[in-house]
Structure 1
Amino acid sequence: MTGKRVAVVGIHGHGASHVRNVLRLPDAELVAVADPQGGGDLAVQVFPSLDELLAAVEVDVVVICTPIQTHVPLAELAMRTGADVLLEKPPTASLAEFDQLSSVVAETGRALQVGFQAQASEATLGLASMVAGGELGEIRGISATGKWLRTARYFQRARWSGRRHLDGVDVVDGAVTNPLAHSAAAALLLDGSTGVDDVRQVETELYRANPIESDDTSTVRITTSRGTPILIAVTLCAGEQLEPSVTVHGSEGRAVLRYTSDTLELHQGDARTVRTYERADLLENLLAHRADPSVPLYCPLAATGGFTRVVEAVRTAADPAEIPADLIDWQGEGLDRHPILRDVEPWIDRAADELALFSEIGAPWSNARRR
């Protein structure tokens, strides 16, 4: 045994990528997994639940990739048994849960890393340094756009998909808070506003074209304590899947971060440069921190406080307004069926450029809130 003993909870779907990641790291040894659906053909011990796993196997690190509403109890269970944790985003479904989990971190002294991969990108961190150093001048604002396409299969993959609540428990699985959560988290990092107290106000406009509880098309405007407006404009009802981006609008230049490819595009004067950067691995960083606490975590729980303020605003907002049927084109059949919100892409671009909510620029579906 050469590496730290790692267990993965939730190994199907995105969890499978965590299993592959553990297996490739020389400093990690996959000793067990927990999933009620079983472990497939993995040659390790398989348990139906984390508590049964921890009762039978000694573990140093637990990777949690499970439904949002299970994050806090599972992370707490792991930390109270002495394990460090890599927890998928969003870490919690509410500020109250965030406070609860923060207390467990402080009480146990365990390390908890949150799975915002873009926070470990040299592109993101380099741009944050540029913003802090004034290289883009005075910051007019930051905007984030996401134009994704999701079919009925995505919303039917699990009971909690597309739900705001399930069995009396908050889930808050919407476009802003889960699939495109990296947009808001990265924007807050670029502003240096990652803590709970770094967010002054959050305005939400949530809409849905799909027959779900949560939002699939939204604008959210965050005002940070330093006064920066951050505008999030996202949809899961685009005509095609496009790469999301975060743009910093400065008086001396503009920077576009494409966080899924770790690409940074700079516009300063007449010059335009594009460069792709490396990204560190969050589990590898957690293992290094465990070996030497002087190695900082890229995304500790405390650094997701500002993002959790956004989650809380979405959680407590009115239910998403239903987008009128005459604005939607449906394509595909069965599990491949999906809505395309007509002209959503240019409206998203305009909202981002003007740092404005959909209703403020007259997007046609924003009338749904006044019906």
Structure 2
Amino acid sequence: MNAPRLALIGTGGHGRTHVEKGLRLHEEGRVQLVAVADPVPPAADALPAGVARFTDGAELIAAGGFDVVVICTPINTHFDFASAALEAGADVMLEKPTTATLDEFERLLAIAERTGGLVQVGFQSLGSEALDIIRARVAEGDIGEVVRYSATGAWVRNEAYYARSAWAGRRTLDGRVVADGALTNPLAHATATALALAGATRLEDVKSLELDLWRANDIEADDTSVAVFDLEGDVRLTTAVTLAASLQKDPYVEVVGTNGALRLWYTKDDIELLDANGFVLETQHTGRRDLIENLLAAREGAEALFSPLAGTGAFMRLVEGVMQAPAPRLVAEGSARVVDDEAGHHLVIDGVEEELERALRLESTFVELDSPFTRVR
């Protein structure tokens, strides 16, 4: 086969989606799936004949024989696997967040530039057709002059979520930065998508960053936080997120103008046009391109990457900021309650959804708003 030889590192959890894509692309003749690696790799009879199976990604890379590597592993391993794959001459699809530290990001960027390898970072929402549509409508003046950008998500995460792996809910593990947390991992797409809409994706596009990190759960990382970015062009982006909501809600990003707003429900690729009072005037559903397919097209020179390594620099400012900030503070006593429902055993911060909306509207942190759960004695 002349198709690119594909290897997958990390096939459990979210990695299962990459296995499904890899098998589909193999069956279509667009790639040749040649190797997989995971502590518990897929059974041989679940893979095409001849696919090599490894229990460690380093062993797979050392064995060679691939052109494209998909990496879906714990955050603290991203740099090691991605840099080794690039040095081996491969192009890389790397799950988000890009790396655990800004230093690792800059080193990986230098390696990619030296080797000429392509690196696509797994912010799936950046493959949405909605981004170009919203950019065009903003340029056409549909919402007037841009006032601000917003990103938010209110999710429910139970005890099992934090118990699923050793690194879940951790800032560090075994002396290495993990950088898990609401802002940097589960709801990372919110900020990354808003930065892309703002055209502020490079390291230098972030002028300053203010963080307000909180936790209701017994974890190291944040589960309820605000990030306020000052961006080039004198605009701001406010991200307000929680994993301690009362109900799971779809996350969205928004471009707010003087005459209205354009809102993207980025997990569904749905766009809403809102008037100045927040009433929905029209809706539009759009399509989305797969990031691995886009990487394959980029290898042929047919397309530009949707989520290139260098284009995650602004997001890496957030990751670095979170890790340089003091550890998240525990919410005020009595402000969170335990709930047992269909979502499992989880904590809810009372009124947090309203505080998220206030933070976005006023471009402020929870502390600046004197949110009830910040009133720690």
Partner-residue secondary structure (3-state), 1:332: strand
Counterpart residue type for residue 285 of structure 1:
N
Q: Distance in 1 between matches of 2:96 and 2:138?
A: 25
Q: Is the 8 A contact 2:64 2:88 kept in 1?
A: no
Query: 2:15 — aligned with what?
Result: 15
Residue aligning to 1:320 = 328
State the TM-score, normalized to the length of structure 2.
0.93
Whole-Å Cα distance in 2 between the matches of residues 157 and 291 of structure 1? 39
- Is this contact kept in 2: 1:124–1:262, CA < 8 A? no
Counterpart mapping for 1:18-37 below 5 A: 18-25=18-25, 26=28, 27-37=30-40
Q: Does 1:287 pair with 2:296?
A: yes
- Whole-Å Cα distance in 1 between the matches of residues 72 and 43 of structure 2? 16
Hey, what's the Cα distance between the residues in 2 that align with 1:189 and 1:31? 34
- The answer to whether structure 1 residue 157 and structure 2 residue 160 are counterparts is no
- Could you give the per-residue CA deviations for residues 180-237 of structure 1, whole angstroms, max 9, x where no partner exists? 0001101111111001000001100000011000000001101102111111110000
Deviations 1:96-146 (A, max 9, x none): 111000001001000000001111101123213333454422211111110
**1:223-259 CA distance string (max 9 Å, x none):** 1021111111100001111100111110132111100
Matched residues, number: 367
Partner of 1:83: 90
In the alignment, is residue 68 of structure 1 matched against residue 71 of structure 2?
A: no
Q: Which residue of 129, 135, 138 maps to 2:136?
A: 129
Q: Does 1:93 align with 2:100?
A: yes
Question: Which moves more between the two structures, 94-103 or 33-42?
Answer: 33-42
2:233 corresponds to which letter in structure 1?
A: R
TM-score (normalizing by structure 1): 0.95
Q: Confirm or deny: 8 A CA contact 1:163 1:213 kept in the other structure.
A: yes
Partner Cα distance (1:28, 1:240) in 2: 41
Aligned AA for 2:345?
A: R
- Contact 1:148/1:237 (CA < 8 Å) preserved in 2? yes
1:181-260 correspondence to structure 2 within 5 Å? 181-260=188-267
Q: CA RMSD of the aligned region, Å?
A: 1.7
Q: Which of the numbers 326, 337, 340 marks the counterpart of 1:329?
A: 337
| Structure 1 residue 54, shift from structure 2 partner | 2.8
Gaps of 5+ in 1: none
Gaps in structure 2 of 5+ consecutive residues: none
Match of 2:115 among 108, 114, 129: 108
Identity %: 43
Q: Distance in 2 between matches of 1:134 and 1:73?
A: 45
Name the amino acid aligned to 1:363: S
Q: Does 1:278 align with 2:287?
A: yes
Give the distance between the partners of 1:15 and 1:236, measured in 2 at CA.
22
1:311: which partner in 2?
A: 319
Matching residue's letter, 1:281 = D
Larger mean Cα displacement after TM superposition, 217-226 or 125-134: 125-134
